Each structure stands twice: as structure tokens, then as C-alpha cells.
A and B are shown apart, each in its own frame.
Chain A
Amino acid sequence: MREISLDEVTRIVKESLIKINYELDNSLVTMLKKAKDKEKSELSKSILDDILTNQELARQGNSPLCQDTGVAVVFAEIGQDVYYNGPLDEAINRGVRQAYDEGYLRKSVVKHPFDRQNTQDNTPAILHTKVIPGDKLILKIASKGAGSENMSKVVMLTPNAGIEGVKKLVLDTVFDAGGRPCPPIIVGIGIGGNFEKSALIAKEAILRDLNDESSDPIIRNLERELYDEINRLGVGPMGVGGETTCLAVKINTYPMHIASLPVAINIQCHSARHIEVTL
């Protein structure tokens, strides 16, 4: 058994959340620059220019990239040979509390669906845990804004809908969302599992490396086709029309019931803020 210090977990969560809210991932910045060069209209170019200037300003450390600093989403992959001297979820939430306070991030969590009272410290995090072999703790940490999350959905297709059914659903979802989720977007798609599993793997898909592709040839091909077809929709930066509607399409799959084809589409705005840390 290996003991991992909960103070260390808290520190990692805090520092990660602050970092991702001020520093946009470099490969994402490169993609945004390429997207700007590709745009033909002055309007869509100038929007991408704003987004690029914004990330430079945020990097100076005074104002976060976006005012919606999101809900903290943490995927904890917990090695089965790890021991903690106390509750792991509390250590993570302590990190969230410290990050949103010390990092001057917006507290955007309300306690109850109807009385809408703010919890004042952005907790609780949305925490997903998974047990893995070994003695490591892998934390995938994201700040997920509501603008893009609100445009996401889960649909229970029937198996005969097939690849074409999935494609139509994704294209309709992205087109109908238009400018609201802050395009250019990253599209995370979960296919399979059941109702809740599809949503979970769609969220994990968003957290994948921007430049990776699925190792499954059918899925890899679908990622590529959807990337091209989404960009042909012409929604463009912030929905004003243009060449780039999505920066990446990531699809994760999971085995499912013989009668089901669950599909979850989780949309991520251009300010994709997440990081992976191994302890």
C-alpha cells in the first residue's frame, strides 16, 4: 500500500484549477491561430483574434480567461493499492474551495434547483471515481462552463439508426446550438453503455488530448468525418458564420445492451480548461 497525502491532493486540485482558468492549453492556442488564418470574413477573423488576445491577457494572471469559471469536474482514477488518511472527496472539495477563493474565480454553484442559493465556495465538485490497478492516483480536472454544457444532450437511439443516425444527431445538435456554446467548439461524444454511461464517456472524451485520435478504426473514421461535416455547417466562430465550427471531435464508446444505442453529445466551448495530473 502507498499512502498519498490528502494535503497534496488538495494542493494539486487548487493549483490545477487556478492554472487552467488563466492559461489556455498551448495546442489549443495553435489550433485557434490556424482557425483564424482560415477564416475569410473580417467578422469571424476578428472574433478569433479577440479570443487569441484574450488568452494572452489572461496568461498575465489578473483576469481569468472567461467570467464563467465553471463547475469543477474531477475524474479521480484511484489505484487500488493507494491508501488515504481520510476522505478523498473532502480533500478534493477543499482544493476547489481554495482555488475559487485564492484564484479570484467566480463561484457559480447553487445548492438547490429552485431556491438557487449560491454555495459561496463553488463546491461541491462533480466527482467521478474509478478504481484502477496500481498505486497511482490520476486526477483529470476541468472547469466546465454552462454555456456549452447547456447545449449538450443524451439521446437513446435504436441500434438500426447506425452510424448515419449518430451522425445526423450530432450534426443537428451542433447546428441547433448555433452560437450559444461559444464555437469553435470541441465535441465530446459517448456512444454506448447505457443512459448515464454514455454521458460520462462523452465528458471523458472532451478531456482527451486535443491531437489524439481513437484507436478504433471505425470510430477514428467517424471522428474525422464528423469533424469535416461539422465544419461544413458554417456556424463559425460565435455562430456568426465561418470556416471553423469545431476544433476537434472526440468519440468514446462502451459496450451496450442488444436493444440500445445511447448517444451523448457533450459540447465544450473554445475555452477548454482541463488538465491531467498523476500523483
Chain B
Amino acid sequence: MIHLKTPIDVSRLKELTVGDKVLISGTIYTARDQAHMRLIEDENPAFDLEGSVIYYVGPTPARPGQVIGSSGPTSAYRMDSLATPLMKRGVKIMIGKGNRSEAFRKSMVENNAIYMIATGGAGALLSSKIKSSKVLMYEDLGTEAIYELVVDEFPCFVAYDLHGNQIFKGGTS
């Protein structure tokens, strides 16, 4: 079990290998397709991308008094062609589910970043690791807005590491 705190200390990413269970604590940011498209064009985002963690998720609505609704990962491959510009601006960890393209994997290694997966379809469990939540950017996107989440030991597995390994059996890009 490896513990990582945000912002991510890049020097620690080399220690990680495929299949490692990592518990992330600190502040992370949600972004899906629409938010990526805007963020790429946004010169003044409301958070520092350097050392940041992006979680691919669109939560269900929170009940009154609840921090956040169900919050499991969405398929990461949809963000493959949108990820490089954000990694170039400092994004260090992306959390999603499922295989991604070879082009993405190469770009990820070049940019010293890591792709992790969280258990897909475990949104109720994963939301219990989220301690606070607020809409930070692009509120009009609803569930696809960028949320700032404070997480405590958010559980992920390293899917692609910096040594060229990948976790998946099957899956074409």
C-alpha cells in the first residue's frame, strides 16, 4: 500500500509499478469530456495544474446533507486525445477506468505522469472517501463541471507506469 498526498511530488511517481494499490489524500479535481475541452483553452483555471490529480467522474446529485453522490470513475479512453495539453501544464495523475490508447500511454511517460484506475461501478464506495466537494469551474456543465474534492485515502491501482508497463489483459486502442 502506497500513500500519496497532493500536490503530487513527481519524484515519487518512479517508485510506482503496475498493480500497486495507492491511497491518495488531499485535493483532487474532476473533469470529463466537456470540462477537458474547456480547460485546454482556459488560460486562467481556478486551480494550479502543477502536480494536480484529475479524476474522470460525473457524480450523481448529492442528497441534502450528503458531501457528494455516487462517484465512480468513467471510461478514460474518451479523454485520450485531450490529456496531453493538460499533462504539459503539470497534471501528474489521472484516475479513470479501462484501457487507453498507446498514443496516450507514450505521451503519459514523456510527461512523467501516471494513469491509475479506481474500481468501476463502485461509486457508492468511492464517494465515502470524499470528504468535501464544491463546484469550482464551469458550473453550467452540471455533473460534468469541475469539482474540487478533498479526499482521504482514495483507493486506486496503478494501470500504466513510467517503466512502460500496463495492467490490462485485452483491450485495443
Q: Is residue A269 within 8 Å, beta carbon to beta carbon, of the partner chain? A: yes
Given contacts A67-B60, A67-B71, contact A178 B124 (CB under 8 A): no
Complex Cα gap A55–B172 (Å): 30
Q: Note all chain B residues with C-beta closer than 8 A to A147.
A: 74-75, 97-98, 120
B71 to chain A, nearest CB (A): 6
Q: How large is the interface on B (under 10, 10 to 19, 20 to 34, 35 or more residues)?
A: 35 or more
Complex Cα gap A116–B71 (Å): 22
- Decide: B122 and A180 in contact? CB cutoff 8 A: no
B3 to chain A, nearest CB (A): 17
- Decide: A234 and B169 in contact? CB cutoff 8 A: yes
**A-contact bits for B156-173, CB 8 A (1 contact / 0 none):** 010000000001111110
Q: Is residue A65 within 8 Å, beta carbon to beta carbon, of the partner chain? A: yes
Q: Is residue A176 within 8 Å, beta carbon to beta carbon, of the partner chain? A: yes
**A43-51, A194-202, A218-226: which lies at the interface:** A43-51
Given contacts A65-B123, A180-B97, A180-B98, contact A106 B169 (CB under 8 A): no
B58 to chain A, nearest CB (A): 6
Q: Is residue B88 within 8 Å, beta carbon to beta carbon, of the partner chain? A: no
Complex Cα gap A67–B98 (Å): 16
Q: Note all chain A residues with C-beta closer than 8 A to B128.
A: 57
Given contacts A180-B97, A238-B119, A240-B19, contact A64 B124 (CB under 8 A): yes
Complex Cα gap A63–B69 (Å): 6
Q: Is residue B81 within 8 Å, beta carbon to beta carbon, of the partner chain? A: no
Q: Note all chain B residues with C-beta closer than 8 A to A64.
A: 60, 69-70, 123-124
Contact among B34, B121, B157 with A116 in the assembled complex (CB-CB below 8 Å): B34
What is the chain B residue whose CB lies nearest that of A234? B169
Given contacts A178-B99, A180-B99, contact A240 B167 (CB under 8 A): yes
- Decide: A180 and B77 in contact? CB cutoff 8 A: yes
Given contacts A43-B157, A64-B123, A180-B77, contact A106 B170 (CB under 8 A): no
Q: Is residue B62 within 8 Å, beta carbon to beta carbon, of the partner chain? A: yes
B166 to chain A, nearest CB (A): 10
Q: Is residue B45 within 8 Å, beta carbon to beta carbon, of the partner chain? A: no
- Decide: A240 and B168 in contact? CB cutoff 8 A: yes
Query: From residue 137 to 173 of chain B, which have CB atoms closer than 8 A to chain A?
Result: 142-143, 155, 157, 167-172
Q: Which of B62, B98, B167, B172 has the most CB of A within 10 A?
A: B98
Contact among B19, B69, B117, B157 with A67 in the assembled complex (CB-CB below 8 Å): B69
What is the chain A residue whose CB lies nearest that of B171? A178
A123 to chain B, nearest CB (A): 15
- Decide: A54 and B19 in contact? CB cutoff 8 A: no
What is the chain A residue whose CB lies nearest that of B117? A238
Q: Note all chain A residues with C-beta closer than 8 A to B157.
A: 43, 240
Contact among B71, B125, B169 with A50 in the assembled complex (CB-CB below 8 Å): B125
B19 to chain A, nearest CB (A): 5
Q: Note all chain B residues with C-beta closer than 8 A to A104.
A: 60-63, 69
Q: Note all chain B residues with C-beta closer than 8 A to A50.
A: 119, 122, 125, 155
Q: Note all chain A residues with C-beta closer than 8 A to B143.
A: 67, 106-108
Complex Cα gap A233–B171 (Å): 11
- Decide: A66 and B98 in contact? CB cutoff 8 A: no
Contact among A67, A108, A239, A241 with B72 in the assembled complex (CB-CB below 8 Å): A67
Q: Note all chain B residues with C-beta closer than 8 A to A65.
A: 70, 121, 123-124
Given contacts A106-B61, A179-B98, contact A66 B123 (CB under 8 A): yes
What is the chain A residue whose CB lies nearest that of B72? A67
- Decide: A57 and B125 in contact? CB cutoff 8 A: yes
By Cβ-Cβ distance, the 10 closest A-B pairs, closest first, are A178-B171, A180-B98, A63-B124, A50-B119, A178-B170, A54-B122, A54-B125, A182-B120, A57-B124, A241-B169
Known contacts A55-B124, A66-B72; can you find 20 more A-B pairs with CB under 8 A?
Answer: A47-B119, A57-B128, A62-B63, A63-B124, A65-B124, A66-B121, A67-B57, A67-B123, A68-B58, A69-B60, A104-B61, A104-B69, A106-B58, A106-B59, A106-B143, A178-B171, A233-B169, A239-B171, A240-B168, A241-B167
6 contacts between A and B (CB under 8 A): A67-B58, A106-B58, A106-B60, A179-B120, A182-B121, A239-B171
